[in-house]
Amino acid sequence: MNPNESLDGTLTGLRVVIDAGPTYEDIDPVRFLGNRSSGKMGFAVAEAAARAGAEVTLIAGPVALATPAGVARRVDVRSALQMHAAVMQAVQGADIFIATAAVADWRVAEYSARKIKKGARGTPVLELVENPDILAEVAARDPRPFVVGFAAETDHVAEHARAKLERKKLDLLAANHVNEEIGIGADDNALELIWPGGSETLPRASKSELAKTLVARIAAHYHARHGKPA
Ligand code: CTP
């Protein structure tokens, strides 16, 4: 982040909702489908937004992270359906929604209340059903907050990200360059910011530095839209 760029007060008076981390989709009482998201990026964004003066609600999937300083409210959830319900409630009247969570695309069609045993019935076949797309659903609301999405891409980052921005009708999309060293689960990240009128590369940095830059950009885009200086 440019050292002269200050976050102070750029989001004062605004309600910001952020979802973060993975979701776990339970199969039976001991097994689940999950993913490698650590929640670090979302928590760093929540901390930066709070530092910028926002009233932050953080909806967290299962992560081992302390609530960042200044976050007004934290709601812990486990599954995509729980995250969906918590976000839909929190975004009512919110000014900005930032979807950093790695929401599971699918859940099992039928949860088994008893542990599935090896043996007689052979190898189980899991039937999956699609989870709601929380980000697209928030973007389809009227009125809606300023909507920021994330995307994890391994190749053709800009093209895939722009297609996602348009498909989900987002105001801004932050695309992760995911490879073995950066992105999901790692401490560093790099982002390609895409919006309907342009794009910008935020070069590789620690997730907390990058989160500050991202929040400064979100504030600038939000205020440009609402006709106020950032
Ligand atoms: N997202 C969501 N609800 C889902 C799935 C995704 O809110 N059920 C949000 C994520 O929080 C993120 C963005 O949508 O902001 C990611 O979009 P997605 O279409 O899942 O992209 P990828 O994970 O990059 O997957 P794909 O490569 O399949 O497009």
pLDDT for position 228:
67
The two three-digit tokens of residue 191, written as one number: 């982002």
pLDDT tens digit sequence for 34-80: 999 999 999 999 999 999 999 999 999 999 999 999 999 999 999 99
pLDDT for position 4:
43
Helices marked H in the chain: 40-51, 80-90, 134-139, 157-167, 207-225
Residue whose CA is at the smallest distance from ligand 1 atom 13: 150
Domain limits for position 188:
15-225
pLDDT for position 97:
98
Within a domain: 10: no
How many domains in the chain? 1
Within a domain: 9: no
Positions marked active-site: 35
What Å distances lie between residue 29 and 21, 76, 81, 210, CA to CA?
A: 21, 19, 17, 38
Cα 200 to averaged position of ligand 1 atoms, centre (Å): 20
Within a domain: 4: no
Within a domain: 5: no
CA dihedral 164, 201, 198, 149 (to 10 degrees): 30
Alpha carbon 156 to chain centroid distance?
Answer: 21
Atom nearest to 148 CA in ligand 1: 15
Within a domain: 52: yes
Query: pTM for this structure?
Result: 0.94
Cα 135 to averaged position of ligand 1 atoms, centre (Å): 8
Atom nearest to 80 CA in ligand 1: 8
CATH of the domain at 43: 3.40.50.10300
Atom nearest to 136 CA in ligand 1: 7
Cα 52 to averaged position of ligand 1 atoms, centre (Å): 26
Cα 100 to averaged position of ligand 1 atoms, centre (Å): 9
Within a domain: 6: no
CA dihedral 163, 164, 165, 168 (to 10 degrees): 120
Q: Which residues of the chain have pLDDT under 70?
A: 1-6, 120, 180-186, 228-230
Q: List residues near ligand 1 (CB under 6 A).
A: 80, 99, 101, 103, 105, 131, 133-135, 149-152, 164
